[in-house]
Amino acid sequence: MSDSTDNRGPHALNAWLLIAYIALLYLGQGASLLESFLNDPMWRDMGAEDFMPTRSEHIWRIYPLLVVPLALRVPVTLSLLWRRPHLFPRWALWVALAGHMTGWASSGFIQTALTEHGFSDALFSRLVVTDRWLRVLPFACEAIAELWVLRRVVDELAVASPEVSE
């Protein structure tokens, strides 16, 4: 009978960090794209009267779906810099971290301005444009790079575990 516990020590931690990173990446990517392409343009259509009450309610509902996963990506990415599986290039983590910081800065400036100033056609236009360049594009590049890393993992697993014939 084999022991089902994982006795690989540091390698298991590296693997779990990679799994957490990829899970948070794609969860955040999905929620972020929904926010970017559905909700952000909708704010402009709402009108000044309904904007602040709806925004106030919306912000607290979006936290568990978008903000928390994106916030957790930062410490997981930093941890991967020091506990990096050998298949994950260090440069990809630095690029990911730069993308995280760019996205947070972009969101922080514009979202804070919308909360402070309320309904503003100019801020909505700026939000949509900067969101595409400073959040969606880096996020998409990171997601594509991680598909490449996943492909490397699958290739290594295929070599390490030859097919079992039935």
Instruction: Give the rounded percent of residues in the chain with a pLDDT score beyond 90.
Output: 16
pLDDT at residue 4, as a whole number: 44
User: What pLDDT, in 10s, does the model give residues 66-125?
Assistant: 999 999 999 999 999 988 888 888 888 998 999 899 988 888 888 788 888 888 888 888
pLDDT at residue 23, as a whole number: 93
Mean of per-residue pLDDT scores for the chain? 84
What ranges do the domains of the chain cover? 10-158
Instruction: Give the rounded percent of residues in the chain with a pLDDT score beyond 70.
Output: 92
Q: What 3-state class would DSSP assign to 58?
A: helix
